[in-house]
Amino acid sequence: MQRAKIDFSRLNRKKNKHVTGCIQFADIRGFTKLFNVSDSNLDDLFAVLQMLYQKLNDCVDLADGVRVQFQGDRIVAVFNSFSDESDEDIIRAFEASLKIKDEVECINNEKCDELGRHKLKIGIGISFGEFYATRLGIRHNMDNLVLGSIVKKSDIAEDKYADNNEIVVTKEYKDKVDELSTDSIKCKVILENLTSISTTGYYKTTVSFSDYESRVKELIDEQEANAKEVTGAAIAAKSITTNIGKERTLRPWGN
């Protein structure tokens, strides 16, 4: 089935789209401070920035998300709900965020010389709810935009509350994860890793993608093992019932 991701090229001032899904803000911390006063490392940092753009965009795209725009060293992306899923937008936004953290660490390792031995760090915010997607501007200078209260909340999650290499989510996102966690193992694992940030209404996690995947696999294995036990018990019970029936059938009259 072809999934209908948001196509900003079809939107304009008169034609916008009402969407339910997740908004993601991901910001590279302290990147501008890496520039030398003499600007002697401009070429090196430009190459790093281009790699960042590509990696961040790939993480979003592979998770069926859509990049709204780059804002300097920051990416804004959306993960809209599809008609054939009940929880995947929540999961896709989270997993894309985990992979973005991994990719930033890979860039730190691959481009350590260009970075002058400094380490790039990232903060990520995710919100869930309803918003509007549109495209505004003049002729060939059009900008993709997302509008709504959850956009501001995602911005706050990233800019105000996310420390280095943290993912911060809104209460609405956490509540949706909680609602789906009964039937979704991945949502259950996400919920396990969210910690309240005091009384702000925001929740944070520092979990890595590998730890997240390991925990998901662990719970899936447990679920499959339990299912086998239940199936085995049902087969055993059926066998006992069948044997009892046979004994009664073969028992001589009068006994």
Question: How much is the average pLDDT of 104-111?
Answer: 92
Instruction: Judge whether residue 135 has pLDDT over 80.
Output: yes
| Residue given tokens 């979704």 in the structure block | 184
Higher pLDDT, 84 or 26: 26
As a whole-number percent, the residues of the chain with pLDDT over 90 amount to: 66
Arithmetic mean of pLDDT, 33-50: 79
pLDDT at 73: 86
Q: Please give the average per-residue pLDDT across 93-122, as a whole number.
A: 92
248 pLDDT tier (thresholds 50, 70, 90): low
Average pLDDT for 165-186: 96
Query: Which pLDDT tens digit goes with each residue over 48-75?
Result: 889 999 999 999 999 999 999 999 889 9
pLDDT score of 237 more than 70 = no
On the question of pLDDT at 2 being above 60, the answer is no
Percent helix / strand / coil, the chain, rounded to 5: 50, 25, 25
Residue 246 binned pLDDT confidence (cut-offs 50, 70, 90): low
For residue 243, what pLDDT is reported? 61
Which of 64-71's residues contact partners 24+ apart within 8 Å by CB, and which partners?
Answer: 64/3, 64/5, 64/88, 64/92, 65/5, 65/24, 65/92, 65/93, 65/96, 66/5, 66/6, 66/8, 68/8, 68/133, 68/144, 68/145, 68/146, 69/143, 69/144, 69/145
What is the reported pLDDT for 33?
77
74 neighbors 56 (Cβ within 8 angstroms): no
User: Which distant-in-sequence residues (6+ apart) come within 8 Å of 99 by Cβ?
Assistant: 59, 62, 63, 209
84-101 average pLDDT score? 90
Task: Return the pLDDT at 38.
Answer: 62
pLDDT digits 0-9 by tens, 151-173: 999 999 999 999 999 999 999 99
Inform me whether the pLDDT recorded for 252 exceeds 70.
no
Please say whether the structural domain 8-207 has been given the CATH code 3.30.70.1230.
yes
Q: Is 141 exposed, middle or buried (0-12, 13-18, 19+ CB in 10 A)?
A: exposed
* Annotated domain spans of the chain: 8-207, 208-255
Q: Which of the four pLDDT bands, split at 50, 70 and 90, describes residue 123?
A: very high
- Give the pLDDT confidence score for residue 234 in this predicted structure: 62
Higher pLDDT, 119 or 252: 119
pLDDT at position 174 is: 97
